Structure 1
Amino acid sequence: MRFEGLDLNLLVALDAILEERSVMGASRRLHLSQPAMSAAIGRLRQYFNDEIFTISQRKLVPTPLAQSLEKPTRDILLRIRTNLISPPKFDPANSERRFRLVVSDYASIVLMHAVMKRVYRDAPGVCLEILPFSDRVDEQLQRGEVDFVIVPASNLIDGHPSQHLFADEFCCVAWRGNREIGRSISLRRYLQAGHITAQLGLMGGASFDERALVQLGYRRRIELIAPNFTAMAAMVIGTNRIATMHHRLAAIFARNFPLKLLRAPVRIPAFREALQWPASFHMDPALAWLREILTDVASEVDRTPAAQMRVG
C-alpha cells in the first residue's frame, strides 16, 4: 500500500532496522531474506533522499534523519496495530494472546498470583509473561514492547496513562533466632543494626524506604543489597541483620519463613502501587479486559489487612 508515494511496508522495515541495527537481525525479525531487506533499505534511501544508515565497525548507524524518524515511525505502527489491525472485540474464553507485564516479585506475590488464577479461569488459552524491572522500562512502554508495568506511584513514567492499584505500609523483619531484637525495636537500635535492602532497575539507586528515611534525616547501615524482595527476606534468616519491607509481603513471608515482624520505629510514608500501560494501546479491548481484572483484584488487596494476606 502506498501513501503519497511511500510504500507503507517500508515503515515496518525501517522500524525493524532501527531496533536491530543489523540487516541480518531485521530480516530475521520480519522473516525476509537479507537481499529483500537490503532492497528495502535502498528504497528508503531513494524515497527520503538520505543514506538512512552508514556502516561503522560492521554495525548500521542511523543518520540524523533516520534517528528523527524512529519515534514517529514506531507511533504510527502502534496506532495501526491498535486501531486497525486489532479485532474490535476480545473473546477471552477463546483467546491465545500473550500479555507481557513488568512486575516486581513483591507485586507478583501480593497481586499477580490472584490475578493469574482469575485470568486462567476466564481465559485458559491466554499467556501472562512476567518480566523483571530493568532500566529500559520507559523505552519498553514507549515502543509498546510490554502491555503493563506495575510500578510505585512515585516512579510513574511520563506520557502514559496510569491507575492506582493499592497501598501498603512498611515494617521491620528480623530472624526469629535473633536474640538482639525482641518484640520491638527502638530507633537507636534500628539505626545501629546492619540492614538488608533491595534494589530494582527502575529505582535508579536507593530503595523507596531508604529515600524516605534520608528525607527524614536518618541514615542506616546497609550491609547487603539483594536483587529482589524475596531474596532480601531470605537473607535475614540466620543473621542479626534486619530488613524494612512492605507489610503485606512480610506477613506472607512470616508464615513460611522463621521471621518476626516489628513495627518500624520511624514513620515511613505509605507505599502506593500503580498500573501503567502504553498510551498507544489505551483503546485495545484486550488490555481493557486485563486492566479490569488487575484493578478489581487490587481493590481486594487494598481492603485486606496485611495480617490477613494470603498467597492467591
Structure 2
Amino acid sequence: MRFEGLDLNLLVALDAILEERSVKAASERLCLSQPAMSAAIGRLRQYFNDEIFTINRRKLTPTSLAQSLEAPTRDILLRVRANLISKPSFEPSKSRRRFRLVVSDYASMVLMQPVIMRAYRVAPGISMEFLPFTDRIGDQLQRGDVDFVVLPDSILIEGHPKQPLFSDEFCCVAWKGSRQVGSSMSLRRYLQLGHVGAQYGAMTSFEEDALLKQGCKRRIELIAPNFTMMAIMVVGTDRIATVHQRLAAILARTFPLKLLRAPVRISEFRESLQWPASFHLDPALVWLRAIISDVAAEIDRTPAARMKFG
C-alpha cells in the first residue's frame, strides 16, 4: 500500500534495519530473503534521495537522515500495532497468543513456575518465551517487543507502568559437606573464603555494592552464568555464594546446601513487573498481569518462603 508515493511496507523494513544494523538479521526478523531486504533498501534510497545506510566494517551505519527517521518510524509502527492490530478482546481458553517475558532465572524459579501452571489451566493454547536480560531492555519495552519484564525496583525503566510483586533478602549458601563453613559466618570468614559470583551486563550486584560501601573486597573464584548456578556450583567445594533467600530455599530442597545469614549488610530489595505503556490496556496483558500479581501475593506461602539457616 502506498501513501503519497511511499510504500508503507518500507517503513517495516526501515525499522528492522535500523534496529538490527544488518541486512541478514533484519531479513531473518521479517522472514524475508536477503535480496528482498536489499531491494527494500534500494527503494528507500530512491524515495528519500539519500544513501540511508553506508557499510562500515560489514555493519550498516545509518546516515543522518536515517537516524532522524528512526524515532518517528518506530512510533508510527507501534501506534499501528497497539491501536489497529491488537485484538479488542481476549478469550484465554481459545487463545494461541505468544507472550514474551524478560525474567531472570531467579524470578523464573521463585515466581514464574506457579504462573505457568495457573495460566495453563485456563489457557492451554498460549505459549510463553522467556528472554534473558540485556542492556536493550528499555528499547524492547518502548518498541513493544516484550510483553513483561520482572526487575528490581532499582533498575526499573522510566516511562512504563509498574507493579510491585514481592520483596526478598540475601543469604549465603555453602556445601553441606564443607568443613570450612560452620552454621554461622563472620564477616572475616566471609572475606577469607572463595566466592561464586555471576555477571549480568554492566550492573553491580547487590552484595558487591554493599561490600564496596563497607570498604570490603571479596575473592571471586568462579563466575556462574546465572543466579541458580551460583548456588549449585558451591557443591563439593569450600566456596560460598551470596544469593536470594527465596531461591536458596528452593534449591536447598534438591541440592546439599546449607544456608547461612549473610554477615554483610545488604538492603532488602523488591521485584516489580513492568509492561509497555503503549499496550497498557491490551486485554491479554491485563489477564496475564492479574495472574502474575495473584501468584506474587501468595509467594510467602510457597516453598520459596520456607527456609532454615544453619
TM-score of the two chains, using structure 2 as the length reference: 0.89
SS in 2 for 1:129: strand
Correspondence for 2:84: 84
Structure 1: distance between partners of 2:197 and 2:31: 45
Cα distance change, pair 4–216 in 1 and its aligned pair in 2 (3 A) = farther
Correspondence for 1:229: 227
Cα distance change, pair 25–254 in 1 and its aligned pair in 2 (3 A) = closer
Structure 2: distance between partners of 1:73 and 1:145: 15
Structure 2: distance between partners of 1:57 and 1:171: 47
Which of residues 274, 294, 297 is equivalent to 2:295? 297
Correspondence for 2:121: 121
Correspondence for 1:220: 218
CA RMSD for the aligned pairs? 2.4
SS in 2 for 1:118: helix
Task: Please tell me the residue identity of whatever aligns with 1:209.
Answer: E
Correspondence for 1:130: 130
The alpha-carbon deviation at position 10 of structure 1 amounts to: 2.7
Structure 1: distance between partners of 2:168 and 2:239: 23
Structure 2: distance between partners of 1:198 and 1:26: 32
Matched, 1:187 2:187: yes
For residues 11-38 of structure 1, the C-alpha deviation after alignment (integer angstroms, 9 at most, x for no partner) is: 1232133234455654554455667655
Correspondence for 1:111: 111
Task: Please tell me the residue identity of whatever aligns with 2:234.
Answer: V
Structure 1: distance between partners of 2:28 and 2:220: 46
Cα distance change, pair 299–48 in 1 and its aligned pair in 2 (3 A) = same
Correspondence for 1:166: 166
Matched, 1:70 2:70: yes
Cα distance change, pair 178–278 in 1 and its aligned pair in 2 (3 A) = same
Cα distance change, pair 174–56 in 1 and its aligned pair in 2 (3 A) = closer
The alpha-carbon deviation at position 71 of structure 1 amounts to: 2.2
Correspondence for 1:276: 274
Cα distance change, pair 181–80 in 1 and its aligned pair in 2 (3 A) = same
Structure 2: distance between partners of 1:23 and 1:305: 48
Task: Please tell me the residue identity of whatever aligns with 1:89.
Answer: S
Task: Please tell me the residue identity of whatever aligns with 2:172.
Answer: C
Cα distance change, pair 198–42 in 1 and its aligned pair in 2 (3 A) = closer
Structure 2: distance between partners of 1:77 and 1:298: 33
Matched, 1:251 2:230: no
For residues 239-271 of structure 1, the C-alpha deviation after alignment (integer angstroms, 9 at most, x for no partner) is: 111111111110111111111111112331002
Task: Please tell me the residue identity of whatever aligns with 1:245.
Answer: V
Identity %: 74
CA contact (8 A) 1:45 1:51 kept: yes
Task: Please tell me the residue identity of whatever aligns with 1:118.
Answer: R
Structure 2: distance between partners of 1:29 and 1:56: 21
Structure 1: distance between partners of 2:189 and 2:34: 65
The alpha-carbon deviation at position 43 of structure 1 amounts to: 4.3
SS in 1 for 2:50: coil
For residues 112-153 of structure 1, the C-alpha deviation after alignment (integer angstroms, 9 at most, x for no partner) is: 000000111111000011112223322322332221111111
TM-score of the two chains, using structure 1 as the length reference: 0.88
Structure 1: distance between partners of 2:33 and 2:184: 67
Task: Please tell me the residue identity of whatever aligns with 1:248.
Answer: R
SS in 1 for 2:273: strand
Structure 2: distance between partners of 1:304 and 1:215: 33
CA contact (8 A) 2:210 2:265 kept: no
Structure 2: distance between partners of 1:212 and 1:111: 25
Task: Please tell me the residue identity of whatever aligns with 1:258.
Answer: P
CA contact (8 A) 2:110 2:304 kept: no
User: Structure 1 unaligned runs (5+)?
Assistant: none
The alpha-carbon deviation at position 179 of structure 1 amounts to: 1.5
The alpha-carbon deviation at position 190 of structure 1 amounts to: 1.4
Matched, 1:94 2:103: no
Correspondence for 2:258: 260
CA contact (8 A) 2:206 2:266 kept: no
Cα distance change, pair 10–233 in 1 and its aligned pair in 2 (3 A) = same
Moved more, 53-62 or 105-114: 53-62
For residues 218-258 of structure 1, the C-alpha deviation after alignment (integer angstroms, 9 at most, x for no partner) is: 32222222111111111111111111111111011111111
Moved more, 255-264 or 127-136: 127-136
Cα distance change, pair 237–60 in 1 and its aligned pair in 2 (3 A) = closer
User: Structure 2 unaligned runs (5+)?
Assistant: none
